[in-house]
Amino acid sequence: MVPPKSKFVTYYRVSTVQQGRSGLGLEAQKAAVGAHLRQHGGVELASFVEVESGKLNQRPQLQAALLRCRQTRATLLVAKLDRLSRNAAFLMNLRDSGVKFQAVDLPEANTLTVGLLAVLAQHEREVIGQRTRAALQARKARGLPLGTPRDLSAYQPAAAAKGRSVIVAKAREYARLIAPEIAAARAVGCTSLRQIAAYLNDRNVTTPRGKLWTAAAVRNALARID
């Protein structure tokens, strides 16, 4: 069985209108991304071009690209890491958003560049943990109580209910995420649940579980949207 190709949404950014019109910088980015796809394999689902300074983090085309990634469970692909941002905090938030991304010029950017802040935070947590353990050992050496076990059985139903509510909330959030795609399906004449499901599948939009859409799944999504 031939494994499915990786799915990518490509994002390009140029800093000035002149660069956007002339293709200066943009052509080089597209060439690098194209070479990467040919070498490593993968299919480009959509492409977005932004004309904006890297100092600004409010970029509509990037947000549209991220939305498309979430809808299709694709990876955001850029030619250079600085096409996303030069702001470390912005890149860290992007990493935590749940959208995977790759930079052609720095394939290990997720771990070697953006992940540096995470490593520092982890080190800080470890230091705090060591201090906490040392404090507990000191209390134990003085014969002080470290706390008494609690009967948590009374909390189990509440915990289960909270877990269900989290699942429902995520399903509703994803339904709102793909609502524009369902509206687009209706706009082109898809009237039945089966037709909408086929439209979403053709667009590589997956269900919350990453599966193909069925009429029943569309019905559930519509119920959550309404």
Residues 106 and 166 in one domain: no
Residues 81 and 170 in one domain: no
151 occurs within a structural domain: no
99 occurs within a structural domain: yes
Q: How many CB atoms are located within 10 Å of the residue 59 CB?
A: 20
Tell me what percent of the residues of the chain surpass a pLDDT of 70: 70
Residues 17 and 107 in one domain: yes
**Chain CA centroid to CA 154, Å:** 36
pLDDT at 117: 43
Q: Which residue, among 54, 114, 20, has the nearest Cα to 30 in the 3D structure?
A: 20
* Residue 23 dihedral angles phi and psi, to the nearest 5°: 85, 0
Residues 13 and 107 in one domain: yes
Residues 93 and 188 in one domain: no
Q: In DSSP terms, which residues pair with 48 in a beta bridge?
A: 11
122 occurs within a structural domain: no
More confident residue, 163 or 221: 221
More confident residue, 4 or 134: 134
Residues 15 and 101 in one domain: yes
List of E strands, 52-202: 75-78, 101-103
Residue 46 has pLDDT above 60, yes or no: yes
Query: Total domain count for the chain?
Result: 2
pLDDT at 1: 38
The string of pLDDT tens digits covering residues 100-155 is 888 888 776 654 556 564 455 455 556 767 777 887 888 778 777 765 555 556 55
Residue where one domain finishes, among candidates 50, 85, 111: 111
Q: What is the mean pLDDT of residues 13-24?
A: 60
144 occurs within a structural domain: no
Residue where one domain finishes, among candidates 43, 76, 111: 111
51 occurs within a structural domain: yes
Q: Residue 118: which residues within 8 A CB-CB, separation 6 or more?
A: 92
Residues 106 and 179 in one domain: no
Helix (H, G, I), strand (E, B) or coil at 90: helix
126 occurs within a structural domain: no
| pTM for the predicted model, two decimal places | 0.57
More confident residue, 35 or 18: 35
Q: Which residue, among 83, 7, 88, has the nearest Cα to 49 in the 3D structure?
A: 83
Assess contact for 36 and 43: CB atoms under 8 A: no
Residues 102 and 187 in one domain: no
Whole-number Å distance between alpha carbons of 28 and 32: 6
pLDDT at 8: 94
Helix (H, G, I), strand (E, B) or coil at 166: helix
182 occurs within a structural domain: yes
Q: In CATH, what number is assigned to the domain containing residue 83?
A: 3.40.50.1390
More confident residue, 56 or 12: 12
* N-to-C CA span, the chain: 40
Least confident window among 42-46, 74-78, 82-86, 149-153: 149-153
pLDDT at 216: 92
Total H helices, total E strands in the chain:
8, 4
Q: Domain range holding 92?
A: 7-111
pLDDT at 175: 82
Assess contact for 184 and 161: CB atoms under 8 A: no
Residues 102 and 160 in one domain: no
pLDDT at 110: 55
**Taking all residues of the chain, what is their mean pLDDT, rounded to a whole number?**
77
147 occurs within a structural domain: no
